Amino acid sequence: MTKTVRKRLTIAVILVCILAGAGMLIKHYFFATKKITYITASASKMDLEESVLATGALQAFKTVAVGAQVSGQLKTLHVALGDKVKKGELLAEIDPVLQQNTLKDSAAQVENLQAQKRSKQALLKEYALAYKRQKLMVAGDAASRADLESAQALLESTRQDISSLDAQIKRAGIAVNTAQANLGYTRISAPMNGVVISIETEEGQTVVSTQSATTILTLADLDTITVKAKISEADITRVKPGLTAYFTLLGDADTRYYSRLRAIEPGPASTGTSSSSSTSNSTTTAIYYNGLFEVPNPGHKLRVSMTAQVSIVLNEAKNALCIPASALGDKQKDGRYTVKIVRDNIPETRTIRIGINNNVYVQVIDGLQEGDKVVVGDSTSVPATTTRSPGPPHGGRR
């Protein structure tokens, strides 16, 4: 073999080695199978609840609008905003001059009618004697029968006049009682124990009572607060009186106020908008039903018209084995679900039976043990649950 042939052979061997190495590098970096990394969560025990979420408003358990039943100038207001009052306590006074004059006028009318009655009674006695005389004279043929009939007519007419005056006196007496009541209405007293939560009429204003009473102030019983929760029509069929309910305030999300749902108003409170055009009509309406329950309010910390974040508990479990809802796979015909668990980075499919599902966590009744690692995602995709807030989801239920 010549020197030139050996040189060429050497170069060929080197080229083959270079090509083989390049191929191995290309296969390693560009065609190698990537190792899948699983994102897991441990099955653990926790307290779990399924509840309906609603927005509520706080109201006083009992509210009374205290008004004026008579007209006049508000002379004196004896209370201020926020004052606590007791039943029967004097709240305000209306200038009583008009009502006093009406009472005096009604009393004078009664006296006038009574005087007229006494006059008629005197005439009645006179006409009774005249009738008696005429009767005797007719019996002795000393007078005509026409004179007797005339005397009898005067007697009966006077008796009827007295009956009419009796009715007028009774009517005037009713007017006196009404005037006395109206005079009493100028002193406005508290109809119940409560707190003054609003004042609509100030001292010096003239109140005019026509068909309805003019409101002067509003009293409320704040010892007990009623919560009116607006429940969506999508959830109302799942809710019934007697369920546990609690709420938090916007300014105090850590404190829960517990009670039980007392009632659900049968009629809806709807809000919505409607739009129409020449080609189509459409209406968008949100339907809500008010759920009512009460909570005690010592110290009056809760105030009227506060906004409450209400939860009505449908189901709950204490110390239940739970996994994230995102770990659930396909639902089987028997109601069970498939999940994947990881052992030594090797996935394994399990079938489980679930209980409470609040769309964030799921109660596992059987099929898993505490500490099992369930797959919620892997490195080939970015699961939605990795960016999801751990709190309750938006919407009417949780």
d(CA 67, CA 13): 112
d(CA 371, CA 369): 6
- The yes-or-no verdict on residue 387 having pLDDT over 50 is no
* Alpha-carbon distances, residue 281 vs 247, 274, 278, 284, 371 (angstroms): 39, 8, 8, 10, 56
Which amino acid would we find at residue 369? Q
d(CA 329, CA 171): 86
Note the pLDDT of residue 390.
40
Name the band, by pLDDT with cuts 50, 70 and 90, for residue 278: very low
Read off the pLDDT of residues 118-158 as tens digits, 9 standing for 90 and up.
998 888 888 888 878 877 777 777 767 787 778 888 888 88
Read off the pLDDT of residues 330-345 as tens digits, 9 standing for 90 and up.
888 888 999 999 887 7
* Structural domain range at position 178: 96-185
> Is the sign of the CA dihedral 58, 60, 62, 68 positive or negative?
negative
Residue 73 lies in a domain: no
d(CA 292, CA 307): 14
Least Cα distance to 72 among 217, 216, 211, 205 occurs for 205
Domain count of the fold of the chain: 1
Residue 245 lies in a domain: no
H runs (alpha helix) in the chain: 3-30, 97-139, 145-185
Which amino acid would we find at residue 323? I
Residue 386 DSSP code = G
Residue 203 lies in a domain: no
Read off the pLDDT of residues 167-213 as tens digits, 9 standing for 90 and up.
999 999 999 999 999 999 999 999 999 999 999 888 888 888 665 66
Note the pLDDT of residue 135.
77
Give DSSP secondary structure letters for 292-342.
Answer: EEEEE-GGG-S-TT-EEEEEEEEEEEEEEEEEEGGG--PBPTTS-EEEEEE
- The yes-or-no verdict on residue 386 having pLDDT over 50 is no
